[in-house]
Amino acid sequence: MNKTVHFLNMGLKDYKESWEYQEHIFQNTIALKLKKTREDASIKTPNYLLFVEHPHVFTLGKSGEINHLLTSEKELNSKGVTFYKTNRGGDITYHGPGQIVGYPILDLDNFFTDIHKYLRYLEEMVILTLAEYGLTATRSNGETGVWLDVNTPFARKICAMGVRASRWVTMHGFALNVNTDLGYFDHIIPCGIKGKGVTSLEAELNKRIPLIEIQEKLLKHFKTLFEAEFLFDN
């Protein structure tokens, strides 16, 4: 098993460009797995973790409903917001500046072949990171992601998740609201969940947190949970 993970901080990057880059790595990894099975068992498949910020964009998962977008695409375009239907799981969400979007492209054969465990580890990485700021975040039964004040009238999501997997190779991932403009969520029913709000670290702590500081904590907890080693790519 290869538990080395190539880490790349992509900075501010267009959603479609990032998606195509993910797909390139994803398909190459699957092709390498097939070659390993058919020709050479000694081949080691790579793992990647990408961090990125996106310009304003709404994305709809393959199980999502278009009526959860509450604004016309024409109006979105006038506001400089793009919209994409994607091949990840989950419903509709927003990405934008001040948000850390993480795309782990892992061969789970290098770690464990359990998608539910994989999602719980991603959630735990975020929960442990938020705990370092005095926030008690938890999971919500039946609702993937990370929440505050679950089972109260004030339940609000701080991190959304949606993944795709094929032959135990993953792509897409999580979006953690750090200094995110939460007003953009008014244009959607976030994750298709009615009656619950969204929040950010900035909103909870009443101060802005440098993204690099949060990224370092996420990497620390990812490394521990997945028992991984990072290679930092330029």
| 194-223 tens-digit pLDDT | 667 899 999 999 999 999 999 999 999 999
Task: Note the pLDDT of residue 150.
Answer: 92
- Asked if 191 is an active-site residue, the reply is yes
Task: Note the pLDDT of residue 193.
Answer: 61
| 11-69 tens-digit pLDDT | 999 999 999 999 999 999 999 999 988 988 889 999 999 999 999 999 988 878 888 88
SS3 track for the chain: CCCEEEEEEEEECCHHHHHHHHHHHHHHHHHHHHHHHHCCCCCCCCEEEEEEECCCEEEECCCCCHHHECCCHHHHHHCCCEEEECCCCCCEEEECCCEEEEEEECEHHHCCCCHHHHHHHHHHHHHHHHHCCCCCEEEECCEEEEEECCCCCCCEEEEEEEEEEECCEEEEEEEEECCCCHHHHHHECHHHCCCCEECCHHHHHCCCCCHHHHHHHHHHHHHHHHCCEEEECC
pLDDT (average), residues 178-187: 90
Most confident of 32-36, 130-134, 153-157: 130-134
Task: Note the pLDDT of residue 32.
Answer: 95
Band (155; pLDDT cuts 50, 70, 90): very high
Domain covering 4-232 in this structure, CATH number: 3.30.930.10
Band (90; pLDDT cuts 50, 70, 90): confident
Catalytic residue among 150, 155, 163, 191: 191
| 12-28 tens-digit pLDDT | 999 999 999 999 999 99
Residue 191 predicted with pLDDT over 80: no
